[in-house]
Structure 1
Amino acid sequence: MLVLTGEKSFEEMKELAWNKKTAAFGGIKNLLSRPKPDDINIIHAEKQYKPFWHAVCSSNFEYKRNTEFSVKISDLAVQKVIICNEERDIDKERNVKLHGSEHCLESSTKEIFVDAYTENEEDLSRYLSMETREISQTEELNAGDNIVVPVKIKASYLVRKLLSDMMKPIDADEVLDETVRIETLDLYFRPIYAFEFSWLPKNKQNVLEFDGITGEFYSGKVLREKMAEIFTEETLFEIGGEVAGAVIPGANIPVKILQESRRRKGNSNS
């Protein structure tokens, strides 16, 4: 589990939100009725930590299969051919049939980013180059008024999804290697500042969320209260039993789970 660091301070984000407050009620449809800056106040602010998964999966399939090759003989004068001391007939289409073996290698990689609360996939690759620190429990982010959005999507869900996408039936007479590897399985938490604005004359409220690192903003919502954890850290990353028992459609491939042992922070000295 990783938390993105280097976010702007609350005061910096509040100043940014104040400068963007008309955007909370703006838009093309409101060109004729945009609010005046003096008519808008910030009535609530909070810092959230939103989780997302980053996973990378690679596959390697090496196999052999018997096949028949066809060689075109264009010279009409040729009536027979000898290949490897064996005489071959030419058929009516002027082809010579050869039996052989194909040595095949298929390799691919898939990378996904999944919102760990909503299950939506989105491109969050911009965060991979940013500074992070490792955490052992989400409680480390819950200090003060911070709100940690709980993780609804477990690691086993991502692993099953990736295995289903990457594993496939192979047209082979001999399989030499058949490996699907989870290269990366990281749970990130990114800092978000949510500001609720009130347009006083219209008695309207809207919320803008500001990325604490990039400063990007978009429509969002405030949570107001701390949210209960849904899964323990061990449960979040437990993939063995659930994935080993999963059925991979179209592929009769045994699933081996090689999972690093994890211990919670409190058991590090046991």
Structure 2
Amino acid sequence: MDSFNLVAHEPRMLVLTDEKTFEEMKELAWNKKTAAFGGLKNLLSRPKPEDINITHSEKQYKPFWHAVCSTHFEYKRKCEFTVKISDPIVQKVIVCGEEKAIDPQRNIKLSRIEHCLESTTKEIFIDAYSENEDDFSRYITMPARELGQTEELNEGDNIVVPVKVKAAYIVRKLLSEMIKPIDADEILDETVKIDTLDLYFRPIYAFEYTWIPKNKQNVLEFDGITGEFYSGKVLKQKMTEIFTEDALFEIGGEVAGFIVPGAGIPVKILQESRKRKKIIDKT
């Protein structure tokens, strides 16, 4: 495994910026208030719009990971194959100046060296709080701003949902799926690249609705970028970070130990400062 190289770009932290205003989201939430209790089957038990109020609203930032991994394996392997000598009058076969014996089944065995190249790419999206894979692909083409720290999102009453999934977990997951045993006699190059390792935060507006006559509450969450809505929950208080940012983005030592425990395989980290703030226009 001395030929193994892992090249990992420094993880980035980004926040999506092309979001709707709070006023726009509140108007949308008001127009959708009956949908908060839309699961009721009995038409007679459905609330009237005038009986529903918005009793709490909050802005959340929810995290997800986007990662892309590519592999390049180059190696040589020896392979034997059989050639049938069908003409009975043939008594000797010389290949590349070497005489090959003809066995009783009229076969000769030859060998060759195969020079092999394998290249693959895998992309994953993982909810950084629930650890579930999900399709967040629509967001990565949208404008985003690079963050130096999550505190930049914690203004006012904003609630930043903590990240439960570290960068090292994402890398180990990719490596476990991408690295496989190679049937080779000589390995020329084993390179695995973590081409992208980005932690995104997307703005979510959560609205709590109260059906006043029944004193019943339900919550809808509205995507601050797309306007989509679905059942959710309000948090009502700021949440504590689970990891320090250094621990969250550390990958070198943990990944090297995962590949070959104790072998000290070098992990090349391409340094790109996460503290550099910029607008990334991907449209």
Q: Same fold (TM over 0.5)?
A: yes
Alignment of 1:97-116 (within 5 A): 97-116=109-128
Q: 1:158 to 1:248 in 2, by over 3 A?
A: farther
TM (norm. structure 1) is 0.88
Q: Which residue of 2 aligns with 1:220?
A: 232
Equivalent residue in structure 2 for 1:139, among 148, 151, 164? 151
Equivalent residue in structure 1 for 2:200, among 188, 204, 208? 188
Letter in 2 for 1:208: L
Decide which moves more: 219-228 or 36-45: 36-45
Matches of 2:124 and 2:21, distance apart in 1: 30
What are the ranges of 5 or more consecutive residues in structure 2 without an aligned counterpart? 1-12, 277-283
Q: Which residue of 2 aligns with 1:255?
A: 265
Decide which moves more: 13-22 or 88-97: 88-97
Equivalent residue in structure 1 for 2:189, among 177, 181, 188? 177
Q: Which residue of 1 aligns with 2:71?
A: 59
TM (norm. structure 2) is 0.85
Measure how far apart 1:262 and its partner are. Answer: 7.1
Matches of 1:28 and 1:223, distance apart in 2: 25
Conserved in 1, the CA contact under 8 Å of 2:147 and 2:275? no
Task: Give the length in aligned residue pairs.
Answer: 264
Q: 1:92 to 1:6 in 2, by over 3 A?
A: same
Matches of 2:64 and 2:126, distance apart in 1: 6
Letter in 2 for 1:57: C
Q: Which residue of 1 aligns with 2:7?
A: none
Conserved in 2, the CA contact under 8 Å of 1:234 and 1:262? no
Conserved in 1, the CA contact under 8 Å of 2:147 and 2:274? no
Write out per-residue CA displacement over residues 147-185 of structure 1, whole angstroms, 9 at most, x where no aligned residue: 111111111111111122212221111000011111111
Matches of 1:175 and 1:164, distance apart in 2: 20
Q: 1:92 to 1:201 in 2, by over 3 A?
A: farther
Equivalent residue in structure 2 for 1:40, among 52, 62, 67? 52
- Aligned-residue Cα RMSD (Å) equals 2.5
Matches of 2:106 and 2:42, distance apart in 1: 75
Conserved in 2, the CA contact under 8 Å of 1:164 and 1:248? no
Q: 1:264 to 1:107 in 2, by over 3 A?
A: closer
Conserved in 1, the CA contact under 8 Å of 2:257 and 2:264? no
- Is residue 121 of structure 1 aligned with residue 133 of structure 2? yes
Measure how far apart 1:23 and its partner are. Answer: 1.6
Equivalent residue in structure 2 for 1:50, among 37, 50, 62? 62
Q: 1:95 to 1:209 in 2, by over 3 A?
A: farther
Q: Which residue of 2 aligns with 1:3?
A: 15
Point out which structure has higher relative CO (alpha carbons under 8 A, 6+ apart).
2
Equivalent residue in structure 2 for 1:230, among 235, 239, 242? 242
Q: Which residue of 1 aligns with 2:257?
A: 245
Write out per-residue CA displacement over residues 78-131 of structure 1, whole angstroms, 9 at most, x where no aligned residue: 555432233334445554321111111111111111111111111101001100
Decide which moves more: 88-97 or 113-122: 88-97
Matches of 2:19 and 2:244, distance apart in 1: 26
- Is residue 21 of structure 1 aligned with residue 21 of structure 2? no
Matches of 2:167 and 2:136, distance apart in 1: 17
Decide which moves more: 75-84 or 31-40: 75-84
Q: 1:8 to 1:58 in 2, by over 3 A?
A: same
**Identity score, percent:** 75
